[in-house]
Amino acid sequence: MKRAFLFPGQGSQIVGMGKDIYEKYEEARKIYEKASEISNIDIKKICFEGPEEELNKTENTQIAILTTSLAILEVLKSKNINADIAVGLSLGEYGALIYSGIMSFEDGIKLIQKRGYYMGNLLPKEEYAMAAIIGLEVNKIEEICKKLNEQGKFVVPANYNCSVQTAISGETNAIDEAIELLKQAGAKRAIKLKTSGPFHTVKLQEAKNAYEKELEKYESNFRIENCENIKVIKNLDGNYYTKNDNIKEILAKHIISPVRFDKAIKLMENEEIEEYVEIGPGKVLTGFIKKDNKEAKVYNINNLETLESYINNI
């Protein structure tokens, strides 16, 4: 069985995530405890109790989602359930890198804590928003964004999620204008997202620079050679990590570059992946997979019921 593990990104969080798995599985409890000890944050309190506004702060969201995904992953590993390929969306790439052994658990938690802090706090002063554009071809979205930019309004594609969905990011007023223009151009839907920063755009240059300095401290710890054991797909270009890659540069650039999950989907399809397993809150990534590959067998593991159903039916 050729299997891929998928790790979700920001926006999938929900108060209570991971609680029932934590209560039943010692493996999951250990992950929450280790992550809390490393970060000096009570991660399970944020995950299980919220409140929502606390969980939705970028500096908390990223570490909370990653910890929940890794807790579920640890239970799967204890049952000898493994994958050939790992991929994540934005912060989810850290789950994939930790799973592959390219990055250690401890380094991953420390880095995602810093990444979340910089992305949540080193922001330009203007108001920004993101929106998902559904049912409109990418070249039309890029064309309309380009026209608005030529008028001095900042809005760009930030997440190429799948062939029928692209997320745009930019100044709030520009996003509102883009939504109207994209609807007129034929978009089936345009939905504002639960994120407020201009993520995956050049507006996060300050955060990228600060994070790059942070990555330098861990650079010698990365084990890029492990990319040969479990293949990890980069958000940056939708290709696999290779032994020649500079992880520091890739992860820093990741903050200001669009996510190419659409290319990751094509790569996994070409690899003839038989089973896609999304590990963590929400069902976003398997939703993207199904849009582009209707025959794909997809599973979501985001609570005790879905975890045990998957384990028992494998």
Find the catalytic residue in 90, 100, 169, 257.
Answer: 90
Contact present, 17 and 47 (Cβ < 8 Å)? yes
Which amino acid does the sequence have at 313?
N
Contact present, 90 and 69 (Cβ < 8 Å)? no
Q: For residue 171, what is the enclosing H or E element?
A: strand 165-171
| Straight-line distance from the first to the last Cα atom of the chain, in angstroms, rounded to the nearest whole number | 10
Residues in Cβ contact with 31 at an 8 Å cutoff, skipping those fewer than 6 apart: 67, 70, 71, 74
Residue 207, sorted as left (phi over 0), alpha (psi -120 to 50) or beta, turns out to be alpha
Contact present, 89 and 80 (Cβ < 8 Å)? no
Is 200 one of the annotated active-site residues of the chain?
yes
Q: Beta-carbon neighbour count of residue 163 at 10 Å?
A: 14
Give residue 140's Cα distance to chain centre: 25
- Per the DSSP assignment, residues forming a β-bridge with 171 are 128
Is 90 one of the annotated active-site residues of the chain?
yes
The whole-angstrom separation of Cα 295 and Cα 245 is: 33
Find the catalytic residue in 36, 69, 100, 200.
Answer: 200
Contact present, 192 and 127 (Cβ < 8 Å)? no
3-state SS assignment for residue 276: strand
C-alpha gyration radius of the chain: 19
For strands 189-192 and 231-232, give the pairing: unpaired
- Residue that is written with structure tokens 């997320």 in the block: 167
Residues in Cβ contact with 207 at an 8 Å cutoff, skipping those fewer than 6 apart: 118, 119, 121, 122, 123, 255
Q: Which residues are catalytic?
A: 90, 200
